[in-house]
Amino acid sequence: MIKRIAALAALLPAVLGTTVGVASAHPAPHATPAVVTLTYDASNAGQWAGAVQQAVQNWNDAVHNVRLEPASSPGSADYVYEATSGWPQTTLGPIFPGGSGDVQLGQQAVDEGYDATRITAHETGHILGLPDDYSGPCSELMSGHGPGTSCTNAKPDAAEAAQVDKNYAAGASAMRPHHRQVVIDVWSGRMLTGSH
């Protein structure tokens, strides 16, 4: 019996060594890219300040690869929100750190009866790289004015959130477009000549 215990005691380090060797032979999991943090300046948002705060929160709750945060100083922001008297218009992203995006929150859309938070969240979707889809349902944030003034949904749907996560999946090192395109959203049944 003592010989058997001694034999098992001698085998135990060898068995453990083999097990550890097998475990370490597996590759380490791939590191995921860091979450991209985009900073914004809402100091010129005026009466839209509450809508900006809610729209940013809606996006931060929906996506995983990008986070929107207030800039530490106005000049350091990756994009800005500003209240204007015209129609909403926005730089089409995706915007990355060091970018220069602009969200103009146009009062004309509110005057037409559209919800300020929906407008702000929609325009933020452009900053994150989403195009318009006016034919979509109210549940689709990027349908914008398409569903009419009764639509107040200000949250992206699952497909929109997934597309934004895909836009930022490679992290801050992703390729950035060299062109700058501005999307003018006419939140009305009337169309302006030359508008997008």
The rounded distance, in Å, linking the Cα atoms of 76 and 123 is: 20
Q: Choose among 48, 113, 42: nearest CA to 81.
A: 42
Q: Judging by beta carbons within 10 Å of its beta carbon (0-12, 13-18, 19+), is residue 160 exposed, middle or buried?
A: buried
The rounded distance, in Å, linking the Cα atoms of 23 and 19 is: 6
Residue 163: partners with Cβ closer than 8 Å, 6 or more residues away = 129, 130
Do 103 and 136 form a contact (C-beta atoms < 8 A)? no
Strand partners, 41: 80
- Give catalytic status of residue 123 as yes or no: yes
The rounded distance, in Å, linking the Cα atoms of 33 and 162 is: 16
Q: What share of residues in the chain are helix, strand, coil (percent, to 5)?
A: 40, 15, 45
Q: Which of 69, 82, 112, 123 is catalytic?
A: 123
Cite the active site residues.
123
